[in-house]
Structure 1
Amino acid sequence: MIVIIDYGMGNLSSVKNALDFLGLESKISSDEEDIRNSKALILPGVGAFPDAMDTIERLSLDKIIREEVAKNKPLLGICLGMQLLFENGFEGFERKGLGLLKGSIVKMKADKKNNIKIPHIGWNNLIYNKNDELFNSIEEGKFVYYVHSYFVQNYNDDDLVAYSEYGENKIPGVVRCKNVMGAQFHPEKSGTVGLDILKKFGELIK
């Protein structure tokens, strides 16, 4: 069972629908027992970093997530959910994140002259930094769907699996450190490429 963590700021139904399509058993929940009994976790997210962390801490989900990750349970963060995996975010002001990965979340750079607009909405191709079992079946250069204004910087290069380029912005698209994984784009909205990523994630618990 994969638990999609519900803290009120995620596109939960689209992630659930994608997992259902793949035949992966899943449940949307914020219940501690559900989370602890799961075989893997997905942390989705749409919205602002500070608001998300405020809610996660209010529900005591931060403690539960850290404890389950320490047990080597697979965790996949999606979009804002990926950003929350890092040490801190600077959306308006500095706010601590879950601290599961090294790095800071900062605003992307716009460039009107070259039509680089923020938020970054659309399809970009993935460029690989290293091989990883979640992505070894996906050909480099495949396109995935992004919707965001912030991205991670000052991360460990060893954690970077794949990235995309948007103007001067090198966007870490996929990160992984052992059982902690993140996708800045939306796999559930990225067609067959995204479905393959979710399928590979599901295979980690079989």
Structure 2
Amino acid sequence: MITVIDYGAGNLRSVCLALESINVPWTISSNPEEILNAERVIFPGVGAAASAVKVLKEKGLEKSIADFISSGKPFLGICLGTQIIFDFSEEDNGTECLGLIPGKVVHFNFPEDEKKSVPHMGWNQVNFTKQHPIFKDIDEASNFYFVHSFYPCPEVSEMEMATTQYGSINFTCAISKNNLVATQFHPEKSGRHGLQLLKNFSTWDGTYNA
């Protein structure tokens, strides 16, 4: 059973439909105790960092997320759910985030002569820098779906497990730390590769030997 966190900023419907399509049981919860006691958790997100962090704190979810990750059980962050587990985001004139992963989240900043659209939206190639269990049976350089204006910059380079090139910027698009994995792309919108990633997560035991 996968528990999908509802904090008012998640794209819950598409995540749950994706899990349903691969016959993985799921439940949605905004209850701190239920989340802490879950078997495995997905932390999705669409929206802005400041309002999301505010809601998490108001609902008492900040501590339950941190305690769940500390428990060693499998945790998957998606998009905004990836960004706000870092220390800080440049979004909303600067937002102090949950501080679960050392590093920051920055806005795409291209030279004036580089005409790249922001947000970065659509399919793009993901290049694995580590062979992690959630990438099992997914071809190297597969395409995944992105919708974002900000991207994560982990302070510890060993946490990076995949990158994507957008214009002149090669950014981290997936990170891992023990039982935690997080992606800037949306696996639930990424066709068969995304479904395979979710299927892998549903059976992963939360351990990883780099």
Q: Percent identity?
A: 36
- 2:134 counterpart residue number: 134
8 Å contact from structure 2 (residues 48, 92) kept in 1: no
8 Å contact from structure 1 (residues 106, 150) kept in 2: yes
- CA deviations 1:15-72 (Å, max 9, x no partner) are 0011111111111110123212310111111111111101101111001111111111
Unaligned 5+ residue runs, structure 2? Answer: none
8 Å contact from structure 2 (residues 160, 175) kept in 1: yes
Asked if residue 103 in structure 1 is aligned to residue 103 in structure 2, the reply is yes
Q: Pairwise mapping of residues 82-161 of structure 1 onto structure 2 (< 5 A)?
A: 82-111=82-111, 113-161=113-161
- 1:189 counterpart residue number: 189
Q: Distance in 2 between matches of 1:107 and 1:185?
A: 15
Task: Name the TM-score, length of structure 2 as normaliser.
Answer: 0.93
- CA shift for structure 1 position 187: 0.2
Unaligned 5+ residue runs, structure 1? Answer: none
More deviation in 91-100 or 9-18?
91-100
Task: Name the TM-score, length of structure 1 as normaliser.
Answer: 0.95
* AA partner of residue 183 (structure 2): A
Q: Distance in 2 between matches of 1:154 and 1:83?
A: 10
- 2:24 counterpart residue number: 24
Q: Distance in 1 between matches of 2:153 and 2:37?
A: 33
Residue aligned with 2:192, SS:
helix
- CA shift for structure 1 position 111: 4.9
Residue aligned with 1:28, SS:
strand
Provide the aligned C-alpha RMSD in A.
1.5
- CA shift for structure 1 position 180: 1.1
8 Å contact from structure 1 (residues 111, 117) kept in 2: no
- CA deviations 1:132-177 (Å, max 9, x no partner) are 1111321111100000000112432111111100012222111111
- 1:170 counterpart residue number: 170
8 Å contact from structure 1 (residues 40, 205) kept in 2: no
Residue aligned with 1:92, SS:
helix
Residue aligned with 1:62, SS:
helix
Q: Distance in 1 between matches of 2:104 and 2:199?
A: 29
Residue aligned with 2:94, SS:
strand
Which runs of structure 1 show a deviation greater than 6 angstroms over 4 or more consecutive aligned residues? none
- CA shift for structure 1 position 115: 3.1
* AA partner of residue 83 (structure 1): Q
Q: Distance in 1 between matches of 2:98 and 2:180?
A: 11
